Amino acid sequence: MNTDVLIIGAGLVGASTALQLAMRGCHCTVIDKDSPGRHASGSNAGGLRQLNRDPAEIPLTVEAAKMWHDIESLVDSDCDARFPGQLRVAENQYDLDKLEQRAAMVRAMGYQHEEIIDKKELYQLVPALAPHCVGALICRGDGFARPYHALTAFRQKAESLGATFHSNTEAYSIEQEGDGWSVRTSQGTYNSKILVNCAGAWAGELAAKMHEPVPLSPKALMLMVTERLPHFVDPVMGAASRKLSFKQMQNGTLIIGGALVAKLDFAQGTTDIDWQQLAASAKTVTDFFPQLKNVRVVRAWAGIEGFMPDNIPVIGASKSMHNAYHAFGFSAHGLQLSPVIGRILAQLILDGSTELPIEPFNINRFNNQE
């Protein structure tokens, strides 16, 4: 099977890259060893977050936010995106001082999307919050989408423009042949001029086959969802010094996360929920919202994601192989970035450069570390 660009990994980053390439007339094929969204892209909390990003990611996340706020023009769907803002709540003056330092750093970089609000405004925004909090850091343009709806919209739009997606197609071997690539898979051999590694938690294995080993660690992050509740909170809630991440969805359920790690058998691709951690997370939620102490959790799950040691992704051209590119290691915060990552990769592949600063995401950045 021949194609201009072969993308390995049919999650949101792979689908976004296929879409941006197809928009420019490039024929691309996306393969995945499972089904699209089987792991991180379909099982995450759906956060659309500019708040508290690594400084290197700020230019990208600000550009991505513009795309999310106009997402329907890109993928013919609103992806169930909502933008009620996001908070990092301070429980004491020490927390608030740290948040103020963060806001000042962002302003010094020339951005205004993170700001401090005092206790009065915090309780105007979230009157149901426990009374001990003193203020918060807010990004008013943040929000959330439904991950699987977003993935489906990106994939279907890419397909409408000529991209093809093949599920249950595992890459066994990768060989460079001249200026192109030959990839032997469980469904046959694919030949392409360009190869793009968007394989999520499995991207480290592919990078090693391309002679670019990276310290990527697979982890399985847990989420839980509650029964439906009357509406009581608009912003996405987080905390300055505790693991808290939750949002109330349009149907009234709460999606509760907080970087909680499940037990993972990576070789088998299976996870086991750690109920003790989930119980501790639920206790944190009720510390902030005591009225939720008797709410029922109806299900929990975990999705497998790839983490880099510095918690920022690898984005860009291969440094050792011709006509190869990487985008992986999003460390559980890639949904927000996915539209702009696709655009960046399409620019690199078709134009040779991008206007956005991606040097901090160089795949070689760990080579000189002991």
Shared domain for 206 and 352, answered yes or no, is yes
Claim to verify: residue 260 and residue 301 sit in the same structural domain: yes
The answer to whether the predicted template modeling score (pTM) of the entire model surpasses 0.75 is yes
Q: Is residue 226 part of a domain?
A: yes
pLDDT at residue 44, as a whole number? 79
How far the first Cα of the chain sits from its last, in Å, is 42
Q: What is the CATH number of the domain that holds 23?
A: 3.50.50.60
331 shares its domain with 297: no
Residue 266 domain-assigned (yes or no) = yes
Same domain (yes/no): 303, 222: yes
Q: How is residue 169 annotated by DSSP?
A: -
248, two tokens: 């109330």
Of 147, 164, 148, 144, nearest in space to 19 by CA: 164
| CA proximity to 233, closest of 140, 127, 145, 135 | 127
Residue in 219, 196, 218 with CA at minimum distance from that of residue 207: 196
Q: How many CB atoms lie within 10 A of CB 290?
A: 12
| 76 located within any domain | no
188 in a structural domain: yes
Same domain, 90 and 57: no
Each residue's pLDDT tens digit, 109-139? 999 999 999 999 999 999 999 999 999 999 9
Q: List % helix, strand, coil for the chain (3-state, nearest 5).
A: 30, 30, 40
DSSP lists the bridge partners of residue 189 as: 184
Give me the pLDDT at residue 184, please.
97
Q: Where are the alpha helices (DSSP H) in the chain?
A: 12-23, 40-43, 58-69, 71-75, 93-108, 119-125, 147-160, 203-209, 275-288, 338-351
Q: Give residue 370's pLDDT.
A: 40
156 and 193 fall within a common domain: yes
CB atoms closer than 10 angstroms to residue 259: 14
Task: Provide the pLDDT for residue 42.
Answer: 64
In a shared domain, residues 102 and 29? no
CA pair distance 125, 139, nearest whole angstrom: 13
pLDDT of residue 41: 72
Question: Are 159 and 301 in the same domain?
Answer: no
- Do residues 58 and 194 share a domain? yes
Give CA–CA dist 189/319, Å, rounded. Answer: 25
Q: In the prediction, which pLDDT does 268 show?
A: 87
In a shared domain, residues 320 and 282: no
- Establish if 278 belongs to a structural domain: yes
What's the pLDDT at 368? 62
Question: For residues 142-165, b (16+ Cβ closer than 10 Å) or e, as one string?
Answer: bbbbbbbbbbbbbbbbbbebebeb
* Judgement on whether residues 294 and 167 belong to the same structural domain of the protein: no
Q: Establish if 366 belongs to a structural domain.
A: no
Say whether 276 sits in a helix, a strand or coil.
Answer: helix
Which residues pair with residue 301 across a beta bridge? 223
User: pLDDT for 230-276, tens place per residue?
Assistant: 999 999 999 999 998 999 999 999 999 888 899 999 988 889 999 99
Domain enclosing residue 173, as ranges = 2-71+147-215+309-361
Pairing of the two strands 164-166 and 263-265: unpaired
Inter-axis angle of helices 147-160 and 338-351, nearest 10? 30
What CATH number is given to the structural domain containing 251? 3.30.9.10
**Residues 139, 47 share a domain:** no
User: Count of domains in the chain?
Assistant: 2
What residues in the chain have per-residue pLDDT under 50? 369-370
Q: Are 125 and 237 in contact (CB under 8 A)?
A: no
**344 located within any domain:** yes
